[in-house]
Amino acid sequence: MKTCLIVIDAQESFRQRAYWNESQAAPYLAAQNALIEGCAAAGVPVVRVFHVDGPADASNPFAVESGHVHPIGGLAPFTAAATFTKHRHSALVNSGLDVWLTQNGIGRLIVSGIRTEQCCETTTRHASDLGWEVDYVTDATLTFDMAQPDGRPLSAADIKARTSTVLQGRFATVCTVAQALERAAA
């Protein structure tokens, strides 16, 4: 089955947010880079997706006008098989990605990027519902600590565990970097 790696929202915009945590980003970047490099070496196409939304002015880090909608520092350089811009949580909504995947005979997606529970999880659920097989590489996703509605803290590690739990076997195969690369080579 032809496989494609999707790198979602791995963009400098996130470093401009108050919740950015460099120590949480380091392990993500290492895993994301290993996944990119492994896919490139195996001939698996790597697709880049950027998120653009909100007011179109320089003060909004997710606006093109900010200058922050470009690959995040520390991300391994790669030649993208295609690059898409999205304006919603799912990378498959009005971006053209779904058309590109179909035209290129892609049957399995490897999902990675920023944020674990937001754009990565939403894209995974959407892709599964549209019929793609999805490998979700939790270690190659990044999220940040949050506050629950009652104010209690919710750690990034707990968010990742919850996301993996709800996706596994229902919407995706949750994989390590090594497992995703092995599955892509099979």
- The whole-number pLDDT of residue 122 equals 98
Which domains does the chain show, CATH number per domain? Answer: 3-185 (3.40.50.850)
Rounded (10°) angle between helices 121-129 and 156-167: 10
Q: Burial level of 1, CB count in 10 A (0-12/13-18/19+)?
A: exposed
- The whole-number pLDDT of residue 1 equals 82
Helix intervals (H) in the chain? 22-41, 97-103, 121-129, 156-167, 177-185
Strand duo 146-147 + 133-142: pairing: unpaired
The span from the CA of 106 to the CA of 121, in Å, is 19
pLDDT less than 50: residues of the chain: none
The span from the CA of 66 to the CA of 171, in Å, is 35
- The whole-number pLDDT of residue 163 equals 98
- Residue 86: half-sphere exposure toward Cβ, Cα within 13 Å: 24
Q: What is the pLDDT of residues 93-119, one digit of tens each?
A: 999 999 999 999 999 999 999 999 999
From start to end of 73-119, where are the E strands?
82-86, 108-114
Enter the DSSP assignment of 96: S
- The whole-number pLDDT of residue 7 equals 98
* 3-class secondary-structure state, position 46: strand
* 3-class secondary-structure state, position 45: coil
My answer on whether omega of the bond before 125 falls inside 30° of 0, hence cis, is: no
